[in-house]
Structure 1
Amino acid sequence: MLTGRADDLELIREFVDRARLSGGALLLSGDAGVGKTELLDAAAVHAHAANTRVARAAGVEFESAVGYAGLHQTLHPLLDGLHALHTPYRSALSVALGLEHGAPPHHLMVSNAVSALLAQAGTRRPLLLIVDDLPRLDRASALVMGLVARRLRAGTGADADSGGAAGPGTGTGRVGFLGAYRSDEGGFFDGGGITTHHLRPLDPAAAEELVKDRFPTLTPRVRTRLLSEAQGNPLALLELPIALTGTRRTTTAIPEVLPLGRRLQTLFAARIEALPPTTRLLLLCAVLDGTGDLHTLQAAATHIGAGPAGIEELAHAERAGLVHVDDTTGRLTFRHPLTRSAVVELSTSDQRRRTHRALADHTADRPERHAWHLAQATVEPDEHVATLLEQTAHAVLRRGDADGAIAALLRAADLSRGRQRSRRISEAAYLGADLTGDLRDVPRLLEDARRADGGRAGPLAAAVAAAHHLLLSGEGDLDTAHRLLTGAIDMQHQPYDATDTTMIDALHTLAWVCHGAQRPELWKPLDRATALLTPHIPDRLALTLATIADPARTAPAALALLDETIATLDRETDPVHIIRTAMAAMYADRLADCRTALRRVLRDGRDTSAITLELQGLVFLSRDCFAAGDWDQLDEHTEQGRRLSATHNYQLLTTDYTYQRALVAAARGDTAATRALTDEMTLWAAPRRVGFALSGASHAKTLAALGQGRYEEAYRHASAVSPAGELAPHVPTALFLVMDLVEAAVRTGRHGEAAAHATAAHEAGIAAISPRLRMIVEASAALTTPEPHAREHFRRALSTPTADRWPFDHARVRLAYGEHLRRTRATTEARTHLTDALDTFQRLGARPWAARAATELRATGEPAAHTHNAGTASLTPQQREIAHLAAAGLTNKQIGERLHLSPRTVSTHLHQLFPKLGITSRAALRDALATPTHHTPDDNATVKP
């Protein structure tokens, strides 16, 4: 029985009983020594009694740098079911666990495979996973286990009957996850959303009962002192008296008050010091090995001077209650994690090195473990060991564990000199900046790399990492990043090796810099560098350059390759390749085809805490949402992106979210928001000469001015991006403003400029890039061409296949055609196009454009009733629910909490529904909702009684 834990035991047993029927996840937290491990033991006993299979594991400090070590320990008893999984899952899990070689699996794929394996085990017999000391799990294992546990908590996972297909699972309904961690420790395990039971210290009565029961000979005075020092911590209550030998149990000679963790380690140390030296050496070997494998300990025993008795000497530690051998797995386990810490603290550095050397000899067939043990056994720089550790870094990186790779590279750098040291530090900095998005250590690492290289400019990887730091951090210094990259590239031996991934990454990063600046002169060094690549420019780099540098002139020739690349995205596992493909698709209007892959990047970024990838995924999904007219979803994406960017100070990416929000505000006629957002962009971008942000601000201002009839202002902003009569080189934003500039020029009497710009767009051949651009080019020609040719251009524009995938642009062309038809007195046909345009603008909430369409429709003689709001019948179900909640007096925040929406999304819906109800404020909602909807029939329709 666990004294004072009746309620906690009941909770644990109820969880185990519930989990064996319907699955679930539960976490235990609490201070060191509070009894978490004892409760886990109790859960295992209860599970065994209920015929539930138990798989146990614990985080190991030494293994925290070895990718998927914790996962291997957890799943080891279940691996006999690996062969029954579908091939993709079996392969992903085998590669992650080091059982096979293959392409590096993503954490999400590994998580799906683990869920499938658990589901399969659960169909045969209820299964309980118990994982102690979660903060000490290696990052890769922690991320996978966190995702699996959250799925078990939510009642979803992989279905064993379908071989592991994602979706609601029948097998996972019999799988439970029970984990424990110290409240004061961090770690990579994400338990968000999982029920957590915080284990508190024992209350005074229970603490006194425990001490009296276990140590009845203590005098009341000593017992009172001990209870005061222990503060209800069960481990301290049980361990402190052990140190009180002889007369100390009858006095107040209790150890001096120390922080709880330190005091407990001291107590463990006292017990360890009483063991024979050979036993302590074997315990040290067990700690540094981390697997608990008795065969490994036996093999290493002779190398560390453990004597002829070998592991039999561990019996002393077992009798002392420090370790025990699990009857199920046959592995040695420590009864409390603090025992391991104390064992290491009591050892000498020489003993630790000799032990690591012995373990290295025994793990020669396991390269990663071998390299790490050698590294820990080595003091002086050793290029052989450093090379092995660098190979380990690349191996774990191929498995998707960037953090494990960084740790290995930095340890390899510690064992290196000169340029090799600089190169390895630089690569670690680059991985931190490019993959994990963690920029905090980048400046320090780059300075270390510079000093290691004798103060020179540093290798190419350092330049790439520094560029990422300058771009992503608050600096956003494009010019410095450009100088840094071009200088580092020029230092490399020519011709450049096209298979050198660092060089290719540097060129991709330089392309990103040039795109951000939108200045032709910055592209010239990049063009020179790519011309020196041998044997040829890689396809993905060629695609990026063709589609973002000057797409008006170079994109058409690359479209076939772009479409082929996009077609492979569903099978693409590298998120960096997905992001780069999406960037290439951006100006070619193909982001919709990348949508599924980008959402996968978003999910993986969240699951793996790869902030940079998640933020970039949000950028492209936001742009796709604007094009597709899904402006409410855009609001969600940009809000999330801005929040993450602000947290990590990623101002350059924040500006792209601001750009998309400014476009929506402009289209919806929110003048104040448009001004605030574009001012924010301009104030940040102007001193840094960030061209894409400045042209984006002009784009939004142009759209706002056009919608509200301020055509002179619209012309000024549009021509600031690209002068009339040309598509400015290396300013891809100009592709979004072709029709805007032409319309503004026509409306201000600049017919020559309008015609010149329409002609330039036609002659550039941009109509071949996408259906949207074909529609825009034809519509621009129509605006500058007299009848009857104008009508033919409009018809070709609107007959463009799939052009309605861009609803706002499509509606603008319909509006322009309707206006043209009305002026040429083709009123019946005009009404059709104007009505369709009005419907789309109203659905999007583009009020100024809806007002223009409504005005034109009335000018055709259409009865006013046709432009009246349709009342509540025109509301979507979600808008209707929001309207009723707002009418009841709830705030946007309260409505959002009830409907699981952001306050900004609620505000957007209200802006859209006000015009539909014919009101302008919340105060009028109650009456508008109470008014019956009236349908006014068309004058020409047959009215039935």
Structure 2
Amino acid sequence: MTGRTKVRQSPPQRPGAPVLHGRGAELAALKALMAPTALSDRPGLDRSRADRPGADGPVLVLSGDPGLGRSALLEHAARSFDAGPVLRVRASRAESGVALGGAHALRCAAAGLPGGVPADVPGLGAAPSWMLHLLTTVAAGAPLLVCVDDVHLWDTPSRAALGFAARRLHPAGPVRLLLTVARQHAADPDLAALPVRTLAPLSPSAADALLDDTARGHAAGSHAVPSHVTRGHTGSGAVVDPAVREELLEEAQGNPALLCALVARLSPAHLSGEQRLPRPLADAETLRDVAGAHLAGLSAEAGDLLLLVAAAHEHDPEGADAELIRRAAALPSDGRRPAATPDLLVLSDGRFRFTSPLLCRAVHVCAPPERRRAAHRALASVLEAQGHELLALLHRAWSVTGHDPPTADRLAAAAGDPSVTASRGQRSTAYARAAELTADARERAERLTAAAEQALLAGRARTARRLTECTGDSALPAVVRGRAARVRGILALRDGPATDAGEALLLARSLLAADDPGHALLAGLAAAEAAWATGDDAACLHALNAADRTAATATTTAAADHKTADHKAADHKTADHKTADHEVAGPARDYLNGMRAMLERDPGRAIPWLRRVVAHAWDEDGPERLLWSGAAALLLGDVPTARRIGARTLAAARSRGPESSVPRALELLAYAELRTGQHALARAHAEEGLRTAHLYGQGNVAAHHHAVLALAASIADEPARVAHHADAALDTARRHGLRQAATLAEWASGRAELGRGRPFEAAARLGPLVRPGPDGGHFAVRMLVMPCYVEAAALTGRRELLDEARAVVGEFALWAHFGADVQAPAQLARCRALVADADRADALYEDALTLHERAGGDFEQARTRLLYGKWLRRRRRLQEARTCLRAALVAFERCGARIWADQAQAELRANGAAPSAPGAGALDGLTPQQLRIARCVAEGATNREVALRLAVSTRTVDYHLRKVFAVLGVRSRVELSRRVEQAEQHGTRVR
């Protein structure tokens, strides 16, 4: 253990001091800890808090995993403290067993102060309070900062004395105490009752900023930086290529020390993307630099145990089975924690786990190769005895070096055997290791491709992408290149430009057509999915026609394979791979035919095919085929069935996998719930879908979940949520060409404007979405947007918008007649009422309500009642209007549509049926109509715009506005806006 004294009177910050990104809360806590109080009688110090005992406290404990910045924060505090001297002590594991070693280090550091340690300070361990006496005596009434790094490595008596002193320091006294401790020791009894701040991994934005700072500093220190990399760039991302950035951030997992070490290892050519990144990205030297100090000083027995647990983590990231470790280490099997277990491990639920994933990686990678191989051999022997064939072979494969074809063959065969129990992640790892042991280039590429396919199914997108990098050799067989192209295409479909994904998948289809027609058909359907996402119906039809050319071959091959027992290259066909050959051809071909007929605008031919696809759902448990059934149900307009299929798909994906299907299953379910008006359920499933999409690296799927969340929030009074999710969806949609997600997000923003009573803004946002052609909305979504646009256009009262709305109603009538949307007939009647003459509108509204009764759905029916109630009120049919509006209000409240409920309540007040909102303050004196006009004016509308919005004359607006000014005592529109804003800030809803 080392002690150091710093006496500093200069300004706290020095040029070039590192910026601690993402640690704002911790830096604020340090500032509060070191803030001037009545610590001394030195002139100029702030005494304002001397009379507040306990203000901010004299002690702070920082805890966290290695590399998260405990020592960096302590260094920042020592550098920033200029009120007096700083005592710094850094603990060492090598001296943990030395009695009172920590106390001795602290006393030695104190001896370096100008006054030294007074002679009357008791000796080490003389009494429980000796350390408290030491600290207060050394301070001598002047400010003193004591910093102890890694205090958990102190011996027990020293730790106990320090904790005793820390709990008894006076809040207004001169001593400030800053301790750092490993996360698992933050609750140790010696540190009980001390304030603790636990460091979390950096947020994505903080890690991104740290990467930019580190990379710029790294580039500036190199003489080999290409001029185009840094010249003229000062903002984020000036040095690091986007793909390299993503991989570095993923590898670091929010650990700042590891991120900086990774950047330091790379050259400017690596960072700019000009040179391929080294593998592994975090090598032994990098991990040793970051975590080596935390592993130093361990006994040989403890080191062996750690290595066994780390080796077992290679096949099971969730933890190492305790019984497996005990047998491999020849430990007593009595269920107790072994005496030699280091504090870097925890034992819970029958598994050993590292306290930090970084330490696990460091232990395994930094171990001498022979010791690492010995650990894998020991685990393999136990697993063989337990009958775990694949895992035993995997550890055997890790225990050999160089090429070993026999071991590689056995491992690949076990990975491809569906009777062997293993996860897709383990199969992927096994294939990848088999490839490393394979000498033949073609066979190695086949196994790498199989590993990528399994990683893709397991939701390990980054691993799958890395594995396909090694399969681009044009000399490889077409089927191998086709399988790799299919993996790359699906990866791009889930997180990349959809057009690129479509081309890769079409290439995969052509390469696979001859030898693997089942997967060729799947590739063609995936290409159609990519084209659908872009809103290119012609490209979608082209992809379906291309897939159809392989469908007959797939059916023939599937029938032949049922009769054939001998399969060439069977070691590369897992149960998932054989599914494509044996089971998928029938449902896939039905789906293909139905989709193609739909795009060819031949519903008579499409409906029977699509109904067959829906019928398959009740006999299937494969998520991919269930997703087809759900899509078919949506196309048929059978949204309740689509919702049931979505729930079934989610259950299947969770129970049997693949894991990568979970975000898409949640997308289907959330969208179907949205269509049935179950907005709260849609939000819950979309929020989970967003988390899993990010977890599995599916950015495009995440964009769809953001769009669903924006739509769900658009019916509530949550403009910030609508804007956040819509912007997030549009950000990805614009970069990756996802017109479907973009249309949904824009629809959400427009519907929110409509709900807030802003028809002009809503019409401007929704108008482009309902227009056909490449500049309009998505061809399958624009019909769903049309009722919103017609309502917005009609409420503006502008002739040119009304004319356009009538044309939209004509096109919407064709959609309603098709029958693919159960709400469409009622919506059509409502739209016709909005643009019809007064003598026809009444009957059309009644027709719409009748059709709503048949279709169900609270939200759409309530919208029709609200519009009808407004129409009735303006024709002085007040009793009928009141009935309509009350029914609309109840329905809106029942489905959580608060912003629309506000409209209904405002109309009821304007109708004289409801009092003003309680607590409105000075606004209570306004009538309902005056409240509405005040709000419109506060939003910046002119009198003419207010008249158009409220369907009254300009003279009426002028009259009521004069009354508003008189009642509120304001003299200008600016004052009125301020008064309305103040009322809203105090919780008053101005309607």
Q: TM-score, normalised by structure 2?
A: 0.48
Using CA pairs under 8 Å that are at least 6 residues apart, name the structure with larger relative contact order, 1 or 2: 1
